[in-house]
Structure 1
Amino acid sequence: DEPRQAEGIITQRSEQFFAPSQIQKLMKEWGADQFNERSTRYIMDCAAKTSCWLKIKELDGVTGLSDVYADVCEGTIPADEGLIVVM
Protein backbone atom coordinates (compact mmCIF):
# COMPACT_ATOMS: atom_id res chain seq x y z
CA ASP A 1 0.00 0.00 0.00
CA GLU A 2 1.04 3.56 -0.58
CA PRO A 3 1.64 5.60 2.61
CA ARG A 4 -1.35 7.69 3.61
CA GLN A 5 -1.07 11.24 4.96
CA ALA A 6 -3.22 12.48 7.81
CA GLU A 7 -5.42 15.51 7.19
CA GLY A 8 -3.70 18.87 7.70
CA ILE A 9 -0.10 17.62 7.31
CA ILE A 10 2.07 20.16 5.49
CA THR A 11 4.03 17.81 3.24
CA GLN A 12 6.44 20.52 2.06
CA ARG A 13 7.72 20.85 5.65
CA SER A 14 7.62 17.16 6.47
CA GLU A 15 10.38 14.65 5.98
CA GLN A 16 11.14 11.27 7.45
CA PHE A 17 13.55 11.28 10.39
CA PHE A 18 15.52 8.09 11.00
CA ALA A 19 17.58 8.31 14.18
CA PRO A 20 20.33 5.79 13.27
CA SER A 21 21.10 7.72 10.06
CA GLN A 22 21.18 11.01 11.94
CA ILE A 23 23.48 9.52 14.60
CA GLN A 24 25.87 8.25 11.93
CA LYS A 25 25.86 11.67 10.24
CA LEU A 26 26.60 13.52 13.50
CA MET A 27 29.32 11.06 14.51
CA LYS A 28 31.01 11.66 11.18
CA GLU A 29 30.68 15.47 11.51
CA TRP A 30 31.60 15.77 15.21
CA GLY A 31 33.72 12.67 15.82
CA ALA A 32 32.83 9.95 18.32
CA ASP A 33 34.19 11.72 21.40
CA GLN A 34 32.33 14.98 20.77
CA PHE A 35 29.16 13.07 19.82
CA ASN A 36 29.30 11.13 23.12
CA GLU A 37 29.95 14.29 25.13
CA ARG A 38 27.16 16.30 23.49
CA SER A 39 24.59 13.49 23.55
CA THR A 40 25.37 12.67 27.19
CA ARG A 41 25.02 16.34 28.15
CA TYR A 42 21.68 16.52 26.31
CA ILE A 43 20.34 13.41 28.05
CA MET A 44 21.45 14.67 31.47
CA ASP A 45 19.83 18.10 30.87
CA CYS A 46 16.57 16.47 29.76
CA ALA A 47 16.54 14.11 32.73
CA ALA A 48 17.09 17.03 35.13
CA LYS A 49 14.10 18.88 33.64
CA THR A 50 11.80 15.91 34.32
CA SER A 51 12.46 15.94 38.06
CA CYS A 52 9.77 18.58 38.63
CA TRP A 53 6.96 16.56 37.02
CA LEU A 54 7.93 12.90 36.57
CA LYS A 55 7.03 10.50 39.36
CA ILE A 56 9.22 7.39 39.35
CA LYS A 57 7.56 4.17 40.50
CA GLU A 58 9.82 1.17 41.09
CA LEU A 59 8.31 -2.25 40.50
CA ASP A 60 9.69 -5.38 42.12
CA GLY A 61 10.72 -7.71 39.31
CA VAL A 62 8.39 -9.67 37.07
CA THR A 63 5.75 -9.85 39.81
CA GLY A 64 5.64 -6.06 40.08
CA LEU A 65 5.44 -5.73 36.32
CA SER A 66 2.63 -8.28 36.10
CA ASP A 67 0.65 -6.16 38.59
CA VAL A 68 0.57 -3.20 36.16
CA TYR A 69 0.93 -4.97 32.79
CA ALA A 70 -2.75 -4.70 31.88
CA ASP A 71 -2.71 -0.97 32.75
CA VAL A 72 0.36 -0.45 30.54
CA CYS A 73 -1.31 -2.29 27.64
CA GLU A 74 -4.54 -0.34 28.08
CA GLY A 75 -2.71 2.99 28.32
CA THR A 76 -4.14 3.87 31.72
CA ILE A 77 -0.80 4.62 33.44
CA PRO A 78 -0.67 8.39 34.05
CA ALA A 79 1.64 10.26 31.66
CA ASP A 80 3.61 11.67 34.59
CA GLU A 81 4.45 8.24 36.00
CA GLY A 82 7.64 6.46 34.98
CA LEU A 83 7.86 2.75 35.70
CA ILE A 84 11.17 1.07 36.47
CA VAL A 85 11.25 -2.69 36.86
CA VAL A 86 13.97 -3.64 39.34
CA MET A 87 15.23 -7.17 38.67
Structure 2
Amino acid sequence: MLTREQKESMLDQVLEIMTAIAYDEPVERVPAPNESKPEKVKMLTIKECTELIEGLSEHTVRKLVAQNKLKYIRTGEGVRGKILINKADLMKYFQNCA
Protein backbone atom coordinates (compact mmCIF):
# COMPACT_ATOMS: atom_id res chain seq x y z
CA MET A 1 0.00 0.00 0.00
CA LEU A 2 1.36 3.41 -0.91
CA THR A 3 1.54 6.24 1.56
CA ARG A 4 -0.04 9.58 0.82
CA GLU A 5 3.39 11.14 0.16
CA GLN A 6 4.29 8.38 -2.31
CA LYS A 7 0.99 8.86 -4.15
CA GLU A 8 1.50 12.62 -4.33
CA SER A 9 5.06 12.14 -5.56
CA MET A 10 3.90 9.77 -8.28
CA LEU A 11 1.13 12.16 -9.29
CA ASP A 12 3.64 15.02 -9.53
CA GLN A 13 5.88 12.87 -11.76
CA VAL A 14 2.96 11.97 -14.02
CA LEU A 15 1.96 15.62 -14.34
CA GLU A 16 5.55 16.59 -15.23
CA ILE A 17 5.66 13.91 -17.92
CA MET A 18 2.29 14.94 -19.35
CA THR A 19 3.39 18.59 -19.43
CA ALA A 20 6.66 17.67 -21.11
CA ILE A 21 4.81 15.62 -23.74
CA ALA A 22 2.37 18.45 -24.38
CA TYR A 23 5.24 20.88 -25.01
CA ASP A 24 7.50 18.33 -26.81
CA GLU A 25 10.16 18.53 -24.12
CA PRO A 26 12.48 15.58 -23.49
CA VAL A 27 11.28 13.35 -20.64
CA GLU A 28 13.77 12.06 -18.07
CA ARG A 29 12.89 8.70 -16.57
CA VAL A 30 12.55 8.84 -12.79
CA PRO A 31 13.04 5.53 -10.96
CA ALA A 32 10.40 4.40 -8.50
CA PRO A 33 11.29 4.84 -4.81
CA ASN A 34 11.90 1.11 -4.25
CA GLU A 35 13.46 0.48 -7.67
CA SER A 36 17.17 -0.33 -7.72
CA LYS A 37 19.63 0.03 -10.57
CA PRO A 38 19.88 -3.06 -12.76
CA GLU A 39 23.05 -5.07 -12.33
CA LYS A 40 25.55 -5.12 -15.15
CA VAL A 41 25.63 -8.38 -17.05
CA LYS A 42 29.04 -10.06 -17.23
CA MET A 43 29.44 -12.55 -20.07
CA LEU A 44 32.26 -15.10 -20.05
CA THR A 45 33.90 -17.14 -22.77
CA ILE A 46 34.29 -20.85 -22.20
CA LYS A 47 37.94 -20.37 -21.27
CA GLU A 48 37.02 -17.65 -18.74
CA CYS A 49 34.48 -20.03 -17.19
CA THR A 50 37.21 -22.61 -16.61
CA GLU A 51 39.48 -19.97 -15.05
CA LEU A 52 36.71 -18.86 -12.71
CA ILE A 53 35.83 -22.30 -11.35
CA GLU A 54 38.71 -24.52 -10.32
CA GLY A 55 38.64 -27.99 -11.85
CA LEU A 56 36.14 -27.07 -14.58
CA SER A 57 37.21 -28.07 -18.08
CA GLU A 58 36.26 -26.53 -21.41
CA HIS A 59 34.82 -29.91 -22.44
CA THR A 60 32.47 -29.89 -19.43
CA VAL A 61 31.29 -26.35 -20.18
CA ARG A 62 30.61 -27.29 -23.81
CA LYS A 63 28.65 -30.38 -22.67
CA LEU A 64 26.54 -28.27 -20.29
CA VAL A 65 25.81 -25.84 -23.12
CA ALA A 66 24.91 -28.70 -25.51
CA GLN A 67 22.57 -30.19 -22.88
CA ASN A 68 20.92 -26.77 -22.37
CA LYS A 69 21.88 -26.79 -18.69
CA LEU A 70 23.60 -23.41 -19.09
CA LYS A 71 22.07 -20.48 -20.90
CA TYR A 72 24.34 -19.02 -23.56
CA ILE A 73 24.49 -16.81 -26.60
CA ARG A 74 26.55 -17.39 -29.69
CA THR A 75 28.23 -14.39 -31.25
CA GLY A 76 29.09 -14.47 -34.91
CA GLU A 77 27.50 -16.73 -37.45
CA GLY A 78 27.13 -20.48 -37.56
CA VAL A 79 28.81 -23.07 -35.39
CA ARG A 80 32.08 -21.10 -35.45
CA GLY A 81 30.58 -18.28 -33.39
CA LYS A 82 31.98 -17.67 -29.93
CA ILE A 83 29.88 -18.99 -27.04
CA LEU A 84 29.26 -16.54 -24.19
CA ILE A 85 27.80 -17.55 -20.84
CA ASN A 86 26.33 -15.25 -18.21
CA LYS A 87 28.60 -15.27 -15.15
CA ALA A 88 25.66 -15.10 -12.71
CA ASP A 89 23.97 -18.10 -14.39
CA LEU A 90 27.21 -20.10 -14.27
CA MET A 91 27.74 -19.39 -10.57
CA LYS A 92 24.08 -20.16 -9.81
CA TYR A 93 24.29 -23.49 -11.65
CA PHE A 94 27.30 -24.65 -9.65
CA GLN A 95 25.89 -23.40 -6.35
CA ASN A 96 22.76 -25.48 -6.96
CA CYS A 97 24.89 -28.56 -7.73
CA ALA A 98 26.75 -28.41 -4.42
Larger Rg: 2
More helix by share: 1
Q: Does the pair score TM above 0.5?
A: no
The two structures have a TM-score, normalised by structure 2, of 0.23
